[in-house]
Amino acid sequence: MDVARRAGCSVQQIRNLERDGVLPPATRTAIGYRIYTEVHLQCALAYRELAVAAGPVEAKRIVRSVHTCPASTTVALLDAAHARLHTERAELALAKKAAAVISAEPIEDVRASDWIGVAELAAALGIRSSTLRHWDTEGLVIPDRNAPTGARRYSPSQVRDARIVHQLRKAGYRIAPLRAVMAQLRRARGSGDIDAALAIRDETLTTRSRALVDATAALARLLPPSDVSPRGTAPPPESRSRR
C-alpha cells in the first residue's frame, strides 16, 4: 500500500488508524479495495510525528479533531502540546542547575543526630512519605533502618540522593533509567552521571520538539485556510463586495 510505505507505517497500522478515526474513512472500489488519498497520507504523517512528540493517545486526539472540530480546536491542541514541551524544557533547565549544586555539596562531620526520618524528609522535599517509600522499593534512594523498629532513617548522603532524584523526576526522568543513574552515582560519587542523564533527557526533548514541528506542517495541509486577513491589509479585490 503506497500510503503505508510513504508514511513509514505497516498496512495494518494504516487500517487501525482509519478504524480509530485518525484517518477519514476511505472510499472503496466495487470489489472492496480501499482507496487512500493525499489527505490520508498527511493524517498518517501527522499522527506518526505527534505520537513521538506527545504520545499516541494525544496524537489520536489531535488528528481526529481535524475531522470533527473547528480548525481553532486543532490549533489550540497544538498550542497546548507546544506549551507542555516548553514547560518540560524549563523544568529540565532548573533540574540541571539544582543537580549540579546538590552534587557539589560537601558532606563532612556526619553525626548520629544528622539522620532524619521519612516524614521529615518528605516535608523538606514537598512530597508524600509514600513517594519516598516507593523510591526505596525501586532502589532509587535506599535509607538505613532503625534496628529495633525497622523505621527508615536517611543519612546526609541519602538525603542528597533524595534531592537529586526529586529534581530528576521533576525533569521527567522515568524510574528505570533513573535507577541505573543512581546506582552509578553511588558507586562513583560525582556529577558526571547526572549530567549525562540530563543530557539524554535534553536530546529526547529536542527530538520531540522537532517531531511536533513536522506534525504541525502536516496538519497545516489539512486545515482550511484562515479567513482572517493580516491587520492593516485589505482583502483581495475579488473578495470585496460590489456596490
In tens, the pLDDT along 78-127 reads 999 999 999 888 877 877 777 776 666 666 665 666 788 999 999 999 99
Domain 86-202 has CATH 1.10.1660.10: yes
Report how far residue 10's alpha carbon sits from residue 27's, in angstroms, rounded to the nearest whole number: 19
How much is the pLDDT for 240?
Answer: 43
Strand-pairing partners, residue 27, are: 35
How much is the pLDDT for 236?
Answer: 52
* % of residues, the chain, pLDDT over 70: 81
Which class is 3-85+207-221 in CATH? mainly alpha
User: Among all chains, which residue has been given the C-alpha cell 519516598?
Assistant: 132
Question: What are the two backbone dihedrals, phi and then psi, of residue 153, each rounded to the nearest 5 degrees?
Answer: -135, 130
Q: Where in the chain is the domain with CATH 1.10.1660.10?
A: 86-202
Does the predicted TM-score (pTM) go above 0.75?
no
Q: Which three three-digit cell numbers place residue 18?
A: 482509519
